[in-house]
């Protein structure tokens, strides 16, 4: 058929118009010019052994200083995270443990009152007749009360000085004397805010009061010392003189030194000054 394009019979598709060429004959718009301070770098193909894998430019290529800045930033983030962890741990050591210890102390106080029975009530006078021999102390079980009026602190003392025993309470050295006995009633405690944190503030003449089942024992501090951890003679019946027969009724408190460390031991020695029956009320040293 005349007038027909021969390609139309072959199913050919007309070539689409070029989009970037304006149809009205106007010249194409120029690419935007870079603003002052900007640098335009053409992308280049990056050739590897297996062919062209990607493109990069001089603007995105890492430099020595960019790597240094990245390292400094990552180091700073790690240090900040580590600092937060340390702060959280310190907060737990200082305040968190106190809450836990105080809760366990309340439970131990209830156990001690139950073990002592009605005769442990200071309003009940002891009956006449021979007193039954006390049962041997069981490790981890409460045996006495301990009061330091100067520090406004008090605890229930348990039997034993293993870590499991003194985790929440001061512990009595099993082979040492009991409260009020001739010898050395020795007690160990952790150096945390809930326990023996401030016993370094005790001076000669300060009171340490021990509560027994029927008796209050009032001791007076006479000496403090710092020793090595292996100097266990401080809890001997006669402190620092192992093997010597005791003649006095003493009390010894031991804890770690300095605070937050344990390469030394802080020792406080006290001597029994007087006793008071619980039926007569609380000792004046404890206040009203």
Is-catalytic flag, 104? no
Asked whether 244 and 261 are in contact (CB, 8 A), the reply is no
Number of alpha carbons in the 13 Å side-chain half-sphere of residue 7: 4
Out of 46, 104, 172, 256, which one is annotated catalytic? 256
**What are the two backbone dihedrals, phi and then psi, of residue 9, each rounded to the nearest 5 degrees?**
-70, -20
What is the rounded distance in angstroms from the CA atom of residue 219 to the CA atom of residue 221? Answer: 7
**What residues does 51 pair with on adjacent strands?**
48
Is-catalytic flag, 190? yes
Out of 46, 172, 190, 274, which one is annotated catalytic? 190
Pairing of strands 249-257, 264-277: antiparallel
State the DSSP code for 139: B
Q: Judge residue 53's burial from the number of C-beta atoms within 10 Å of its C-beta, 0-12 exposed, 13-18 middle, 19 or more buried.
A: exposed
Neighbours of 270 (CB within 10 A): 25
What is the rounded distance in angstroms from the CA atom of residue 123 to the CA atom of residue 195? Answer: 29
Q: Would you mind telling me the total number of residues written for the chain in this entry?
A: 288
What is the rounded distance in angstroms from the CA atom of residue 274 to the CA atom of residue 93? Answer: 37
What is the rounded distance in angstroms from the CA atom of residue 269 to the CA atom of residue 173? Answer: 15
Place of tokens 């006793």: 275
Neighbours of 108 (CB within 10 A): 19
**Active site residues per annotation:** 190, 256
């Amino acid at each position: 058929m005349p007038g027909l394009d021969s390609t139309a019979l072959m199913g050919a598709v007309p070539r689409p118009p070029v989009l970037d060429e304006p149809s009205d004959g106007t010249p194409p718009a120029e690419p935007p010019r870079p603003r002052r301070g900007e640098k335009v770098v053409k992308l280049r193909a990056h050739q590897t052994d297996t062919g062209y894998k990607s493109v990069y430019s001089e603007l995105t290529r890492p430099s020595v200083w960019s790597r240094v800045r990245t390292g400094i930033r990552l180091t700073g983030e790690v240090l900040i995270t580590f600092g937060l962890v340390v702060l959280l741990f310190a907060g737990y050591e200082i305040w968190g443990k106190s809450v836990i210890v105080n809760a366990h102390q309340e439970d131990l106080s209830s156990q001690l009152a139950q073990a002592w029975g009605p005769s442990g009530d200071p309003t009940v006078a002891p009956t006449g007749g021979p007193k039954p021999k006390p049962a041997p102390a069981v490790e981890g079980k409460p045996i006495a009360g301990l009061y330091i009026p100067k520090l406004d602190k008090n605890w229930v003392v348990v039997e034993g000085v293993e870590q499991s025993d003194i985790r929440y309470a001061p512990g009595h050295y099993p082979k040492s004397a009991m409260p009020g006995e001739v010898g050395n009633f020795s007690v160990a405690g952790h150096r945390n805010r809930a326990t023996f944190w401030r016993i370094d503030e005790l001076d000669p003449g300060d009171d340490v009061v021990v509560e027994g089942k029927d008796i209050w024992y009032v001791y007076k501090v006479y000496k403090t010392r710092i020793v090595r951890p292996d100097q266990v003679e401080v809890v001997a019946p006669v402190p620092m003189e192992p093997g010597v027969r005791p003649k006095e009724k003493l009390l010894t408190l031991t804890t770690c030194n300095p605070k937050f460390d344990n390469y030394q031991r802080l020792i406080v020695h006290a001597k029994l000054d007087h006793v008071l029956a619980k039926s007569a009320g609380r000792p004046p040293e404890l206040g009203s």
